[in-house]
């Protein structure tokens, strides 16, 4: 049986999906910019599902699987996004957003959110309702704390919260047993909760450019690549 692959590049991460199971996997790369492409016309429901404006997306809400609103000087997100029930990938990078409407947290199939390089001050606590979410990119905002409800994202595999103003990581993140990579560099974090030792699938914990982060001894014996 022929395997059909789709690729999405967000920042330095490439996401790969197989048509058979539509399961997005993340692989670190050195690609600096966001782009995506699809290498097989047979995977047309993804190709046809890419939209670049909220107006066009709302004309065919059931067909929208990828919505790319990056680099559009958006300061306020349209709450009508909640109508896009088939949406899997939401790209909002390089805008002027100061808040995310809680309505987007009701999207049942959303797997990837990239809201990097905006002006978000906080993340809505309803984020925990996104049960299908696997990739959450919050890089380059003004976030000072993460809501503990983020620990309800049981399928999350990659969390990028670098380049913010975090002083700590909530210990509740230790409940995310599928989490493989945490990028938390360029913050003001001073210590890591010892409960992170429960993250048995965690492979990368990037803490570069923080405040001499204290690593609990429980993590020092785990197979985690800690970058400081």
To the nearest 10°, the Cα dihedral for 139, 141, 143, 149? -50
Number of domains into which the chain is organized: 1
- State how far the Cα of 199 lies from the Cα of 201, in Å rounded to an integer: 6
The gap between the terminal CA atoms of the chain, to the nearest Å, is: 44
In a domain, 89, yes or no: no
| Domain contains 143 | yes
Reduced to 3 states (helix: H, G, I; strand: E, B; else coil), residue 59 is helix
Nearest to 67 by CA among 86, 93, 87: 87
Give me the CATH number covering residue 170: 3.80.10.10
pTM for this entry: 0.81
**Cβ 174 vs Cβ 195: under 8 Å:** yes
What is the pLDDT tens value at each position of the chain, 228 positions in all?
Answer: 433 334 454 444 444 444 444 444 443 433 333 344 432 232 233 445 799 999 999 999 999 999 999 999 999 999 899 999 999 999 999 999 999 988 899 999 999 999 999 999 999 999 999 999 999 999 999 999 999 999 999 999 999 999 999 999 999 999 999 999 999 999 999 999 999 999 999 999 999 999 888 888 888 777 788 888
Per the CB < 8 A criterion, the answer to whether 217 and 192 are in contact is no
Residue 136 belongs to domain spanning:
130-228
């Amino acid at each position: 049986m022929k395997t059909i692959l789709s690729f999405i590049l967000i920042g330095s991460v490439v996401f790969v999906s197989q048509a058979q199971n539509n399961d997005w996997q993340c692989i670190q790369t050195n690609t600096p910019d966001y782009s995506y492409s699809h290498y097989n016309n047979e995977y047309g429901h993804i190709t046809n599902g890419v939209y670049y404006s909220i107006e066009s997306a709302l004309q065919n809400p059931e067909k929208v699987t990828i919505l790319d609103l990056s680099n559009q000087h958006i300061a306020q997100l349209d709450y009508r996004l909640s109508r896009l029930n088939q949406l899997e990938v939401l790209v909002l990078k390089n805008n002027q957003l100061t808040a995310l409407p809680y309505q987007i947290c009701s999207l049942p199939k959303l797997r990837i959110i990239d809201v990097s390089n905006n002006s978000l001050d906080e993340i809505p606590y309803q984020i925990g309702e996104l049960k299908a979410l696997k990739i959450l990119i919050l890089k380059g905002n003004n976030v000072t704390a993460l809501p503990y409800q983020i620990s309800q994202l049981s399928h999350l595999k990659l969390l990028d919260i670098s380049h913010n103003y975090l002083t700590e990581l909530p210990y509740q993140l230790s409940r995310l047993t599928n989490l493989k990579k945490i990028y938390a560099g360029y913050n003001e974090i001073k210590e890591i909760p010892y409960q992170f030792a429960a993250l048995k699938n965690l492979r990368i914990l990037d803490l570069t450019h923080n405040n001499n982060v204290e690593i609990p001894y429980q993590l020092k014996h785990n197979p985690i690549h800690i970058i400081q």
